[in-house]
Structure 1
Amino acid sequence: MRRALVCLLSLAAVALFAAPKPRVKLTTSMGVIVLELEPQAAPKTVENFLKYVRKGQYKGTIFHRVIPGFMIQGGGYVDYLGKKRTEAPIPNEADRSKAAGLLNHRGTLAMARTGDPDSATAEFYINLVNNPSLDFKSRKDGNTWGYCVFGKVVQGMDVVDRIAHVKISHARSDFPALPAKPVLIQDATIQ
C-alpha cells in the first residue's frame, strides 16, 4: 500500500511538471502570433497577462511602438490612441525570470513598464533581437531592475517581423514609433 502511494505521488508530481504551458493566440491585422507563457518562471506576470486576455483587454488594441532592430510593443492603446484602463501595476519579476533562464532574446515576450520597476500593467513587447540591456542586473533602480520576460513566440515570428517593418508615422511627437497604418490586435484568446 505504501509503495503504491509513493508511486502515485511520484506520477502526480511528474504530471504537474509536465503540464502544458498556457498559450495565447493573438489575431492581428497582419496575421496570427501564438505565445507560450512561462508560469513557473514568472507566475504573477503570467496570471496578470492571462487575466487581461480573459477580460478582452487586448481586443481592438494596437501595436503603438514599433522599432525595427529592437521590439514591437502593444496592448495599451486603441487605434485612435486612447489609453485603455488597466488594473493596478504588478510586482516586477525580472529577477525571478532571469534566474529561470528567461532573457530578452529574439522572440521573447516581456512586460512593458515606466521607469518604476513595479509599474507594469497590460502593455507587453516582443523582442526582435537579443536585448541584454533589458535584462535584470540588480535591484538598485529602474535602470538596472530590467523587464520581466514571461513567454515566447512559438508561431508567427514571421508576422512579428512583418509588423517590425511597417512604415512609421512621424506626425506625432508623443508617439515617435507609431505605425502609419494601425496594426490591430483583433483578438487574444487562450488556447
Structure 2
Amino acid sequence: MLKRILLVAVLALCFACSAFAAEAKNPVLVLETSQGNVKVELFEKQAPITVKNFLEYAKSGFYDGTIFHRVIPSFMIQGGGFNKEMIPKATRAPIKNEANNGLKNDRGTLAMARTGMVDSATAQFFINVVNNNYLNHNPAGGAGSFGYAVFGKVLEGMDVVDKIAGTPTGVVNGMPNVPVTPVVIKSVKILK
C-alpha cells in the first residue's frame, strides 16, 4: 500500500513538473532601455508568426539603439522602428496579422504596430499602458476592426513602462508624441 501511495505521489509530482515545463517554454526576453529593464514573455502558441518575427529582429540586433518614438500616457508606448535621430530603420517584409488569436490588448501586453492595412506589421511594437479594448479583434465589426495582434506580456518592469509613458513629449520631424529626451532601447536579450 505504501508503494502505491509513493508511486501516485511521484507520478503527481512528475505531472506537475511537466505541466510547469510546458508553460515555461514561452520565450522570455529583456528589453534594456535607458529608463530601466522590462522583462517580457512571448506567446508562441497563440501568435507563432508574430513571435517568430519579433525573435528574428531581436536576434539580429535590429532593436538595439532604436527608441520609443510614440509615447501617449493612458494609452501605450511604441518603439522598435526609429533611431535617436528619428530615422526609420529598414525592415523585412510585413507579416500576417494574428489579432484574431484570442489575446486582448490589456494593460501590460505587447502588440504589433501597423498601418491602416491589416497585414502591414514589420518591426514596430507597442506596450499597452491601459486596457485598450477597441484595439482588439472584432469579427462583427466589419472593415477596419481586425485589431492589433497581441503577442506577449510584461512579466517585470511595468513601473518602467509607466515611467516611459509619463515622459514629456513634443513634435519631432512633424511626428507628435515623441519623447523630448530619447528613450533608447539599448538591447533586446533573449533569456530562454
The normalised TM-score by structure 1 is 0.87
Q: Deviations over 1:77-120 (max 9, x none)?
A: 00001100111000000012x2xxx2000000000000001000
Partners in 2 of 1:24 and 1:91 — Cα distance?
22
Q: 2:77 aligns with which of 72, 94, 109?
A: 72
**Structure 2 CA distance for partners of 1:29 and 1:117, relative to 1, 3 Å:** same
Partners in 2 of 1:171 and 1:28 — Cα distance?
20
Equivalent position of 2:177 in the other structure: 177
Does 2:56 align with 1:51?
yes
Equivalent residue of 2:176, what SS? coil
Q: Deviations over 1:38-69 (max 9, x none)?
A: 00100000000000000001000000000000
Partners in 2 of 1:16 and 1:72 — Cα distance?
32
Equivalent position of 2:92 in the other structure: 87
Q: Which amino acid aligns with 1:57?
A: F
Instruction: Note the residue ranges of structure 2 that are not aligned, 5 or more in a row.
Output: 1-10
The normalised TM-score by structure 2 is 0.86
CA shift, 1:20, in A, is 2.3
Equivalent position of 1:155 in the other structure: 156
The structure with the larger Rg is 2
Q: Percent identity?
A: 50
Partners in 1 of 2:117 and 2:138 — Cα distance?
15
Partners in 2 of 1:75 and 1:159 — Cα distance?
16
Paired positions, count: 176
Q: Which amino acid aligns with 1:182?
A: P
Does 2:186 align with 1:186?
yes
Partners in 2 of 1:41 and 1:25 — Cα distance?
20
CA shift, 1:21, in A, is 1.1
**Structure 2 CA distance for partners of 1:19 and 1:128, relative to 1, 3 Å:** closer
Equivalent position of 1:4 in the other structure: none
Partners in 2 of 1:50 and 1:156 — Cα distance?
20
